[in-house]
A and B are shown apart, each in its own frame.
Chain A
Protein backbone atom coordinates (compact mmCIF):
# COMPACT_ATOMS: atom_id res chain seq x y z
CA UNK A 1 0.00 0.00 0.00
CA UNK A 2 1.40 3.36 -1.05
CA UNK A 3 2.19 5.37 2.09
CA UNK A 4 3.18 8.47 0.12
CA UNK A 5 0.96 9.56 -2.74
CA UNK A 6 1.32 12.09 -5.50
CA UNK A 7 -2.07 12.06 -7.17
CA UNK A 8 -1.17 14.28 -10.12
CA UNK A 9 1.04 12.40 -12.58
CA UNK A 10 1.66 15.57 -14.58
CA UNK A 11 1.38 19.35 -14.40
CA UNK A 12 1.89 22.07 -17.01
CA UNK A 13 2.58 25.67 -16.03
CA UNK A 14 3.42 28.81 -17.94
CA UNK A 15 6.88 30.27 -17.41
CA UNK A 16 6.86 32.88 -14.65
CA UNK A 17 3.77 31.48 -12.97
CA UNK A 18 3.61 29.43 -9.78
CA UNK A 19 3.94 25.64 -9.84
CA UNK A 20 2.29 23.76 -6.97
CA UNK A 21 3.08 20.09 -6.54
CA UNK A 22 1.16 18.12 -3.96
CA UNK A 23 1.92 15.09 -1.83
CA UNK A 24 -0.17 13.19 0.71
CA UNK A 25 0.94 10.60 3.24
CA UNK A 26 -0.86 8.11 5.42
CA UNK A 27 1.61 7.31 8.20
CA UNK A 28 1.31 9.74 11.13
CA UNK A 29 4.77 8.63 12.33
CA UNK A 30 6.48 10.34 9.39
CA UNK A 31 8.38 13.35 10.63
CA UNK A 32 10.87 14.22 7.90
CA UNK A 33 9.97 15.02 4.32
CA UNK A 34 11.99 15.72 1.22
CA UNK A 35 11.47 16.73 -2.38
CA UNK A 36 13.67 15.42 -5.15
CA UNK A 37 13.91 16.54 -8.74
CA UNK A 38 14.74 14.13 -11.53
CA UNK A 39 15.76 14.83 -15.10
CA UNK A 40 15.58 12.05 -17.73
CA UNK A 41 18.52 9.61 -17.65
CA UNK A 42 19.80 11.08 -14.38
CA UNK A 43 19.44 10.16 -10.73
CA UNK A 44 17.13 12.14 -8.45
CA UNK A 45 18.72 15.21 -6.87
CA UNK A 46 17.78 16.60 -3.50
CA UNK A 47 15.79 19.83 -3.66
CA UNK A 48 14.42 20.80 -0.26
CA UNK A 49 13.37 19.20 3.02
CA UNK A 50 11.17 19.93 6.00
CA UNK A 51 10.86 18.37 9.43
CA UNK A 52 7.60 18.04 11.29
CA UNK A 53 8.52 20.74 13.79
CA UNK A 54 8.09 23.31 11.02
CA UNK A 55 5.23 24.08 8.67
CA UNK A 56 7.24 25.93 6.05
CA UNK A 57 10.74 25.89 4.63
CA UNK A 58 12.01 28.18 1.94
CA UNK A 59 15.04 28.02 -0.33
CA UNK A 60 15.13 30.61 -3.08
CA UNK A 61 12.31 29.95 -5.52
CA UNK A 62 11.30 26.75 -3.73
CA UNK A 63 9.05 26.59 -0.67
CA UNK A 64 7.71 23.47 0.97
CA UNK A 65 4.60 23.64 3.15
CA UNK A 66 3.63 20.93 5.62
CA UNK A 67 0.13 20.46 7.01
CA UNK A 68 0.49 17.72 9.61
CA UNK A 69 -3.20 17.52 10.50
CA UNK A 70 -4.08 16.91 6.86
CA UNK A 71 -0.99 14.74 6.25
CA UNK A 72 -0.24 16.88 3.24
CA UNK A 73 2.76 18.68 1.91
CA UNK A 74 3.23 20.85 -1.13
CA UNK A 75 6.11 22.28 -3.09
CA UNK A 76 5.74 25.77 -4.54
CA UNK A 77 8.05 27.00 -7.28
CA UNK A 78 7.87 30.74 -7.94
CA UNK A 79 8.54 31.90 -10.57
CA UNK A 80 8.60 28.72 -12.65
CA UNK A 81 11.34 28.44 -15.26
CA UNK A 82 11.69 26.07 -18.24
CA UNK A 83 14.69 24.45 -16.51
CA UNK A 84 12.32 23.35 -13.73
CA UNK A 85 10.73 20.88 -16.15
CA UNK A 86 11.43 17.51 -14.52
CA UNK A 87 9.80 14.77 -12.46
CA UNK A 88 9.40 15.70 -8.80
CA UNK A 89 9.26 13.06 -6.08
CA UNK A 90 8.26 13.60 -2.49
CA UNK A 91 9.62 11.27 0.18
CA UNK A 92 8.90 10.73 3.85
CA UNK A 93 10.49 8.96 6.78
CA UNK A 94 9.81 8.36 10.46
CA UNK A 95 12.29 8.55 13.30
CA UNK A 96 11.87 4.86 14.02
CA UNK A 97 12.29 3.71 10.45
CA UNK A 98 15.19 2.76 8.26
CA UNK A 99 13.90 4.04 5.00
CA UNK A 100 12.29 6.79 3.03
CA UNK A 101 9.02 6.14 1.27
CA UNK A 102 8.73 7.81 -2.11
CA UNK A 103 5.70 9.00 -4.01
CA UNK A 104 5.10 8.05 -7.63
CA UNK A 105 6.26 11.40 -8.95
CA UNK A 106 4.74 14.37 -10.76
CA UNK A 107 6.08 15.39 -14.15
CA UNK A 108 6.25 19.19 -14.35
CA UNK A 109 6.42 20.94 -17.70
CA UNK A 110 7.10 24.68 -17.68
CA UNK A 111 6.03 26.19 -20.97
CA UNK A 112 8.18 29.09 -22.24
Chain B
Protein backbone atom coordinates (compact mmCIF):
# COMPACT_ATOMS: atom_id res chain seq x y z
CA UNK B 1 0.00 0.00 0.00
CA UNK B 2 1.59 3.27 -1.10
CA UNK B 3 -0.50 5.63 1.05
CA UNK B 4 0.22 9.08 -0.29
CA UNK B 5 2.61 9.79 -3.12
CA UNK B 6 3.88 13.18 -4.19
CA UNK B 7 5.70 14.23 -7.33
CA UNK B 8 8.18 15.59 -8.01
CA UNK B 9 10.47 14.91 -5.06
CA UNK B 10 12.22 18.19 -5.67
CA UNK B 11 12.18 20.96 -8.26
CA UNK B 12 14.08 24.12 -9.07
CA UNK B 13 11.91 26.62 -10.84
CA UNK B 14 12.46 30.03 -12.38
CA UNK B 15 10.30 32.84 -11.02
CA UNK B 16 7.22 33.46 -13.14
CA UNK B 17 6.90 29.86 -14.28
CA UNK B 18 3.83 27.74 -13.70
CA UNK B 19 4.20 24.57 -11.64
CA UNK B 20 1.86 21.79 -10.55
CA UNK B 21 2.70 19.59 -7.60
CA UNK B 22 0.99 16.23 -7.75
CA UNK B 23 -0.54 14.29 -4.88
CA UNK B 24 -2.26 10.91 -5.03
CA UNK B 25 -3.65 8.78 -2.21
CA UNK B 26 -4.87 5.21 -2.36
CA UNK B 27 -6.64 5.08 1.00
CA UNK B 28 -9.98 6.38 -0.33
CA UNK B 29 -9.83 9.18 2.18
CA UNK B 30 -12.43 11.89 1.78
CA UNK B 31 -10.34 14.86 2.91
CA UNK B 32 -7.04 16.06 1.47
CA UNK B 33 -4.74 18.96 2.35
CA UNK B 34 -1.73 20.90 1.16
CA UNK B 35 0.76 22.35 3.65
CA UNK B 36 3.99 24.22 3.34
CA UNK B 37 6.75 23.85 5.91
CA UNK B 38 9.09 26.75 6.53
CA UNK B 39 11.78 27.07 9.18
CA UNK B 40 10.41 28.68 12.32
CA UNK B 41 6.84 28.62 11.02
CA UNK B 42 5.93 24.96 11.22
CA UNK B 43 3.31 23.54 8.90
CA UNK B 44 0.82 25.97 7.44
CA UNK B 45 -2.30 24.94 5.57
CA UNK B 46 -2.58 26.23 2.00
CA UNK B 47 -5.77 24.61 0.73
CA UNK B 48 -7.94 21.69 1.71
CA UNK B 49 -10.71 19.56 0.25
CA UNK B 50 -13.36 17.93 2.42
CA UNK B 51 -14.53 15.66 -0.37
CA UNK B 52 -14.18 15.25 -4.11
CA UNK B 53 -15.54 18.26 -5.95
CA UNK B 54 -15.05 20.74 -3.08
CA UNK B 55 -12.07 22.85 -2.00
CA UNK B 56 -11.40 25.48 0.62
CA UNK B 57 -8.75 28.02 1.58
CA UNK B 58 -6.39 27.51 4.46
CA UNK B 59 -4.08 29.94 6.25
CA UNK B 60 -1.85 30.86 3.29
CA UNK B 61 -3.78 30.34 0.02
CA UNK B 62 -2.51 33.31 -2.01
CA UNK B 63 -0.62 32.35 -5.15
CA UNK B 64 -1.87 28.75 -5.08
CA UNK B 65 -4.85 26.93 -6.55
CA UNK B 66 -6.14 23.38 -6.17
CA UNK B 67 -8.68 21.09 -7.76
CA UNK B 68 -10.29 17.86 -6.61
CA UNK B 69 -11.78 16.14 -9.63
CA UNK B 70 -11.78 12.72 -7.94
CA UNK B 71 -11.15 11.12 -4.55
CA UNK B 72 -7.55 10.14 -5.15
CA UNK B 73 -5.87 13.20 -6.68
CA UNK B 74 -5.31 16.69 -5.28
CA UNK B 75 -2.89 18.74 -7.40
CA UNK B 76 -1.52 22.08 -6.21
CA UNK B 77 -0.75 24.71 -8.85
CA UNK B 78 1.48 27.76 -8.60
CA UNK B 79 0.30 29.92 -11.50
CA UNK B 80 3.32 32.22 -11.48
CA UNK B 81 5.95 31.15 -8.97
CA UNK B 82 7.73 33.69 -6.75
CA UNK B 83 10.85 33.19 -4.57
CA UNK B 84 8.76 33.38 -1.37
CA UNK B 85 7.12 30.14 -2.45
CA UNK B 86 10.41 28.33 -1.91
CA UNK B 87 9.44 25.73 0.67
CA UNK B 88 8.79 22.07 1.36
CA UNK B 89 5.26 21.12 0.39
CA UNK B 90 3.39 18.29 2.05
CA UNK B 91 0.17 16.70 0.92
CA UNK B 92 -1.97 14.91 3.52
CA UNK B 93 -5.24 13.05 3.69
CA UNK B 94 -7.69 11.93 6.34
CA UNK B 95 -10.79 9.81 6.38
CA UNK B 96 -12.90 12.79 7.37
CA UNK B 97 -11.98 16.43 7.79
CA UNK B 98 -11.16 16.46 11.52
CA UNK B 99 -9.60 13.02 11.66
CA UNK B 100 -5.92 12.13 11.95
CA UNK B 101 -4.02 13.20 8.85
CA UNK B 102 -1.49 11.06 6.98
CA UNK B 103 1.26 12.84 5.13
CA UNK B 104 3.14 12.26 1.91
CA UNK B 105 6.95 12.43 1.69
CA UNK B 106 6.99 16.05 0.53
CA UNK B 107 8.18 18.09 -2.45
CA UNK B 108 11.09 20.46 -2.01
CA UNK B 109 10.53 23.47 -4.26
CA UNK B 110 13.07 26.18 -4.92
CA UNK B 111 12.00 29.27 -6.86
CA UNK B 112 14.88 31.36 -8.18
Could you tell me which A residues sit within 8 Å of B by CB distance? 2, 4, 6, 9, 32, 34, 36, 41-46, 49, 89, 91, 93, 95, 97-100, 102-105
Closest residue of chain B to A99 (Cβ to Cβ) is B45
Would you call B74 an interface residue if the criterion is a C-beta within 8 Å of the partner chain's C-beta atoms?
A: no
Within B57-96, the residues touching A (CB, 8 Å) are 58-59, 90, 92
B4 cross-chain contacts in A, Cβ below 8 A:
43
Nearest CB of chain A from residue B30's CB, rounded to whole Å:
12
Closest residue of chain A to B97 (Cβ to Cβ) is A98
- Cα of A104 to Cα of B38 in the assembled complex, Å: 9
A91 cross-chain contacts in B, Cβ below 8 A:
43
Instruction: Assess whether B90 is in contact with A44, with CB atoms less than 8 Å apart.
Output: yes
Nearest CB of chain A from residue B6's CB, rounded to whole Å:
8
- Cα of A97 to Cα of B58 in the assembled complex, Å: 11
Nearest CB of chain A from residue B66's CB, rounded to whole Å:
14
Within B30-65, the residues touching A (CB, 8 Å) are 33, 35, 40-45, 48, 50, 56, 58-59
Instruction: Assess whether B43 is in contact with A89, with CB atoms less than 8 Å apart.
Output: yes
* Given the contacts A102-B43, A104-B41, A44 and B98 also touching, CB distance less than 8 Å: no
Residue in A4, A95, A100 whose beta carbon sits within 8 Å of that of B101 in the complex: A100
Instruction: Assess whether A99 is in contact with B100, with CB atoms less than 8 Å apart.
Output: no
B43 cross-chain contacts in A, Cβ below 8 A:
44, 89, 91, 102
